[in-house]
Structure 1
Amino acid sequence: MTEVTGSKRAQITRAALLEAAREVFSAAGYDNANMADIAERAGASVGSLYHHFAAKSDLYITLYNEYQRRQQHRSAQAFRTALRRGEQDALQLFIAGTRAYLEGCWEERELATVFLSGGGPAGFGLLARERFREWLHANSVLVNDHVHPLSEMLVLSLTAMATEAGREVAAAPSRAKARRMIDEVLELMGRLYPDS
């Protein structure tokens, strides 16, 4: 039997706290969640929770940042896969990344719903807008090195469409409905630039 080091134990506790926070925020929303419930669900003390996270807002923003990283990874991976398959059209590359993003919204629908609902700690709206601008810039850079570059306003419109569609996909009543929604929004995106 291997001994768990202090560092490993701290990582395990932190992961349990984040998972418990995900469950509590998903069930109660940000405003109604409390730190004692999160600690109890994680099987940790409130003191341990505050050792790892300064406040409820810190937990929420950490979950959000990790969710965003997973979403960016999904999109970038789909983009690279499309490139390896020979796709060079900017819009089709964007659509490949968007499909992965929207599928991630369904797969992590509890968190997506929490983050896309408009709630959260003070200042979260500003953070979300900053992340949106970062995503917009990343999308522009990725797709505009390819055939049929997309205008700045088209990338803005497509990114906004993807964000709003993500909210609806996360709230879909079934996987089948979510897939139909994803297919429909991607088809609509394709119509915005018919010469691609």
Structure 2
Amino acid sequence: MTEVAGSKRAQITRAALLEAAREVFSAAGYDAANMVDIADRAGASIGSLYHHFAAKSDLYITLYNEYQRRQQHRSAQAFRTALDRGEKDALQLFIIGTRAYLEGCWEERELATMFLSGGGPAGFGLLTRQRFREWLHANSTLTNGHTRPLSEMLVLCLTAMATEAGREVASAPSRAKARRMVDEVLELMRRLYPSS
């Protein structure tokens, strides 16, 4: 087997293991999830699983990191598109990025619910608090230098609102309900910093 073919096969196996882990963690919860069940669901050997991931916690945190990257990408892309269209108001830019984040919570509701509801491996709560601080810093940085810059405390409140709203949007019973929730939380954000 060539090195390229082996690398491609390893990528496919890794992706299958992550998909299987997502299914098992979502169904059983982190504590009850079993590495053998994950390997079986992926159609892989337990040795292959441990070749790619050192432990169950490694799988969970990898899923979390990849989910966070997709969420950051959604928000950043919406933010950049708004900038390209001439939007300069810091609050409006924040709201546009938040809408993309909340829509991502609905689109990936299984993962969002799992990660936002607590649980996970030891130290996961610390990791999520660290990510929240990173998100807070990024939001503060992105909204400075635009019309009506946002204070640090306002960014904190808005970011906390977005996080909590994400939890609720992810558990909404329907897409229509999720959309109403997104619209309502974004309107509440606007009221915190009215334009006039």
- Structure 1 length-normalised TM: 0.97
SS in 2 for 1:122: coil
Question: Does 2:110 align with 1:110?
Answer: yes
Other-structure match for 1:86: 86
- Rounded to whole Å, the distance in 2 between the matches of 1:178 and 1:171 is 8
> Which letter maps to 2:12?
I
Other-structure match for 1:29: 29
1:195 offset after TM fit, Å?
Answer: 2.7
Other-structure match for 1:132: 132
Other-structure match for 1:5: 5
Other-structure match for 1:122: 122
Other-structure match for 1:97: 97
5+ long unaligned stretches in structure 1:
none
1:145 offset after TM fit, Å?
Answer: 1.5
SS in 1 for 2:173: coil
> Which letter maps to 1:109?
R
> Which letter maps to 1:68?
Q
Other-structure match for 2:65: 65
* Runs (4+) off by over 2 Å: none
> Which letter maps to 1:135?
W
CA RMSD of aligned residues (A): 1.3
Aligned residues: 195
The percent identity for this pair of structures is 89
Other-structure match for 1:185: 185
5+ long unaligned stretches in structure 2:
none
- Structure 2 length-normalised TM: 0.97
1:4 offset after TM fit, Å?
Answer: 6.9
- Rounded to whole Å, the distance in 2 between the matches of 1:101 and 1:165 is 10
State which drifts further: 136-145 or 100-109: 136-145
> Which letter maps to 1:44?
A
State which drifts further: 140-149 or 3-12: 3-12
SS in 1 for 2:88: coil
1:137 offset after TM fit, Å?
Answer: 0.4
